[in-house]
Structure 1
Amino acid sequence: MPDHAKTELDHVQDTLAQLKEMRHYSANNVETLTAQWLLFDGELSKLGRTAKIDDLMVRQGELHEALEGVIADFEELATELQPAPEA
């Protein structure tokens, strides 16, 4: 067992680390999807089948943007939970 129980700050920092990892993978996914999509867009547009994939790409981008907002919120919370410096 650990010497001390996790504090609220510990939990916030753990969550923040997970969110940042999710952001990293989200950014990589957006870049990969975009690169792959550009290769196929021309051919699929001729077939009239691009709308569904365009929607997926928009949703992936929205997820990435939402992660940025949540990360900023948790960073602010972590700052608020920092113990006051001892005088």
Structure 2
Amino acid sequence: MSADTKTPLDHVNATLNQLKEMRHYSKNYVEQLTAQWLLFDGELSKLKQAERIEELMTRQGELYDALEAEIAELEEVAVSLQPVAEDAAGTVH
């Protein structure tokens, strides 16, 4: 299917897939950064780097939350774009 023949639902679903992939990686990065933070918090504090890392963790968490919200919103849009089903008698469901 070429880009010209994609429906709005196709575009929403493609975007949803990309956002879900970003969410997956974002979660993994937050977990990795947190693990590093826990291992080196004392050393980072001594080097006066703890605050900078904490800020990155906060920003990464905010990105994850924003991705969650956008995914939920686009999933609602995708549902609204689903074609209306008809039965054999032509009744719309």
TM norm structure 2: 0.86
Amino acid at match of 1:43: E
Moved over 3 A (4+): none
Structure 1 residues without counterparts, runs of 5 or longer: none
User: CA RMSD, aligned part only?
Assistant: 1.5
Distance 1:76 1:85 in 2: 18
Where relative contact order (Cα < 8 A, 6+ residues apart) is larger, the structure is 1
Task: Give matches, 1:35-46, under 5 Å.
Answer: 35-46=35-46
Rg bigger for which structure? 2
Matches within 5 A, 1:2-41: 2=2, 5-41=5-41
Q: 1:52 corresponds to which residue?
A: 52
What amino acid is aligned across from residue 35 of structure 2 in structure 1? A
Shift of 1:44: 1.5
Q: Percent identity?
A: 65
SS in 1 for 2:83: coil
Using the size of structure 1 for normalisation, the TM-score is: 0.91
Q: 1:74 and 2:74 equivalent?
A: yes
